[in-house]
Chains A and B, each alone.
Chain A
Amino acid sequence: MTLLDIRNLTIRIDGRTVVDDVSLTVGHGERVGLIGESGSGKSLTSMAVLGLRPARSELFGSVRVAGIETVGADAAALRALRGKTVGCIFQEPQSALDPLLPIHRHLVAPLRAHGMLPRGAARATAIRLAESVGLPDAASLVRRYPHELSGGQRQRVMIAMAMSTTPRLLLADEPTTALDVTVQARVLQLMSDLVSRSGAGSLLVTHDMAVAASQCDRIVVMQSGRIVETGTPDELISHPRTRYTAELIDAAYATGWQPRRMREAVSA
C-alpha cells in the first residue's frame, strides 16, 4: 500500500479550477519534493492531504494516507490522522505556535492529543523532544514563550512536535523559506536526519529547486494547478521533458550561486 496516494485531485474555488487533476504518490521512506511558483497549486495540494481546503471550494478525487481516504472523511477520522499519521511543518512557525503557551506545552501537544503522553511525564518528555532537535539549554528553553525564540528555534520546535508521534508521513510546506540561509542549512539537515532515522516518507513543498534537488529522491513540478513533470533531481536537471521545467531550471541556475569549482568541473 502506497503511503500517500493522491488520485485525480481537482479543487475549484468559485468555479475556478486551482488544482487540476493532480495524481501523485509518496512511498514509505520516500522523500518527494513538490515544486512550483506562486499560484501553482502546490500548497493547496499539500493541504488536501490533511483534509483541509479553502472556504467556498469544491474538491474532487481521492487522497489516501496509509490507506485512509481523507476526501469526505469526518472530523474524528481527520483528527486521528493529523499530527499522528501525518506530521506537519509550515513556513511561519510564529503563526503556528500559540503566543500564550510556553514551549513545553506546545512540544507535548501532539502526543497529548493522541493519548500518547504518559501521565506525569509531560515536562521530561518536552525536554527530551527539545533536545532531540538540538535546541540549546533545553530545560530552561522549554519554559519560554514562542516570541522569545529565534525563527530557527521556533522551526525546530515545530519539527520536534511534528516528529514526536513518529508519523509515517512528514508534510513540510516551505519549512525554511522564512529562515536565514545558515539556519536553513541546519534545519534541512535536522529534518533529513529525523526522517531517515524514523523511516517516514516526506512531502516537501518548496519553490526552491536547489532545496528540492538536495533533499528529495523525486521531484514533482506543478504549474497553474497541474503536474507538468515528475522525475529524480538528476533526470529533471539533465533532461527536462517540458519547456516549463527547463525554464524553471534555467532560472534557478541563472539566479542561484554556484562555486566556480563546480562550474569548471562541468565544462572541463
Chain B
Amino acid sequence: MSIELFAATGVGMTYPGMSRPALTDVDVRVDAGRHLGIIGESGSGKSTLARILLGLQQPTTGAVTYRGAPLPRTRSREARDFRRRVQVVLQDPFASLNPRMPVGKIIAEPVKALRPQWDASRRALEMLADVELPPDVAQRLPRELSGGQRQRVAIARALAVRPEVVIADEPVSALDVSVRAHVLRLLRRLAAHEELTIVVVSHDLGIIDGLCTDAIVMTEGRIVERGAVSDVLENPTHPYTRELIASVPLLPPRPTQDEGTHHVA
C-alpha cells in the first residue's frame, strides 16, 4: 500500500501586484518512494509549486498536507520535524552555500540543528564519501570547489539528516554536460540506495527521464498532463506536451557500440 506524503489540493497562487496567477487549481500527490518530475518552462509555475511544497510560500487558495497534516508554521516544533523529513537542493549551489564556512561545517550544520543526538562531524565525513568527494574537501571553502563539487556538497547537506523527501529544483542545469552526467548518476544511485522520495523540478526532459518514475507537465500555472514518466514522454496527449517534446534538439540515433569501447587514437 502506498503512503501519501505530499497532497496539494486546488492550489492557486497569485503574487502581489501580478494580474495573472502563478498557479491555478493544482492538484498533486507524492507517495513515499516515488520520484516525481515537475516539467515546465520559465513562467510555468513549477518553481512556485516546489516552494509551496517546501512550505516557503503560502498558497493563495487550496491546501497542502504532508502525511495528512497541514504544513507547519515556521519556527514551530512541527517545522523542525518537517525540515528533518523534507530537504532541498537548488540549482545554484554557490548561492545556497555559506561562502565563509568550510564544507565540513556546511554539511554538519543541519545535522546539529535537526539531529542533535548524532555526531555531526562524523556524519559530514560519511556524506562526503557518499557523494564521492575526498575527506580533505571538508576543510575547504565553497569557492575553492568546482561547480560539480559544490553541487555534490549541496546534495550531501540535503541528505545528511536522512530526509524522507528531497525536492531538487534544476539540480544539474547549471553544470557542464560531462559534470552533469556524473551528478545525475550520483543522484540516481543515492535515490535507489536511500529509498528516498524525490521531487525534481526541471525543464530538461533528459533529467526527468533519468531520475523520475512519474511526471507532471505544467504550463501557464496549470498541470496539463500527468502520468508515468514513460507515458508522458512517449505518448503525450496534451498539445503543449507534444510541442515541448518535439522542440528538444535530438542527437542522431547512436550506432550500436559496446559500452566503453571508443575509437580512441
Contact = CB atoms under 8 A, between A and B. Distances in A.
Nearest to A182: B247
Contacts of A241: 263-265
Given A185-B246, A257-B206, A240 B263 contact: yes
B247 A210 contact: no
Contacts of B172: 255
Given A246-B264, A257-B206, A260-B234, A238 B255 contact: yes
Nearest to B244: A182
A243 B203 CA distance: 30
Best-surrounded residue of A182, A213, A256 (most CB of chain B within 10 A): A256
A262 B253 contact: yes
Given A180-B41, A240-B262, A251 B247 contact: no
Nearest to B172: A255
Contacts of A182: 41, 243-244, 247
A181 B255 contact: no
Nearest to B208: A257
Interface stretch (B84-92, B110-118, B149-157, B174-182): B174-182
B177 A257 contact: no
Contacts of A242: 264-265
Best-surrounded residue of B185, B203, B243, B263 (most CB of chain A within 10 A): B263
Contacts of A265: 253
Given A240-B263, A255-B181, A38 B176 contact: yes
B178 A251 contact: yes
B247 A184 contact: yes
A207 interface: yes
A266 interface: yes
A148 interface: no
A210 B249 contact: yes
Contacts of A151: 42
A27 B226 CA distance: 47
Contacts of A240: 262-264
A76 interface: no
Contacts of B180: 251, 255
Nearest to B260: A250
A180 B253 CA distance: 24
A255 B250 contact: no
Contacts of B265: 241-242
Interface in A103-151: 151
A185 B207 CA distance: 19
B252 interface: yes
A258 B265 CA distance: 28
A213 B177 CA distance: 15
B186 interface: no
A37 B249 contact: no
Contacts of B262: 240, 243, 246
A37 B180 CA distance: 11
A208 B107 CA distance: 32
A255 B264 contact: no
Nearest to A237: B252
Contacts of A13: none
Best-surrounded residue of B181, B247, B251, B264 (most CB of chain A within 10 A): B251
B184 interface: yes
B193 interface: no
Interface in B165-197: 172, 176-178, 180-181, 184-185
A186 B246 CA distance: 11
Nearest to B261: A246
A81 to B, nearest CB: 31
Interface string A198-221: 000000000111110110000000
Contacts of A197: none
A75 interface: no
A255 B262 CA distance: 19
A213 B252 CA distance: 8
Contacts of A249: 251
A251 B148 CA distance: 14
A98 interface: no
B175 to A, nearest CB: 9
A259 interface: yes
A73 interface: no
B248 interface: yes
Contacts of B253: 258, 262-263, 265-266
9 contacts: A181-B244, A185-B248, A210-B249, A240-B262, A246-B264, A257-B206, A257-B209, A259-B234, A263-B253
Given A246-B262, A255-B206, A257-B209, 7 more contacts: A38-B176, A181-B203, A253-B251, A254-B185, A259-B233, A262-B250, A266-B253
**Interchain residue pairs A-B with the least CB separation, the first 8:** A185-B247, A257-B205, A180-B41, A251-B181, A246-B262, A37-B176, A210-B249, A257-B206
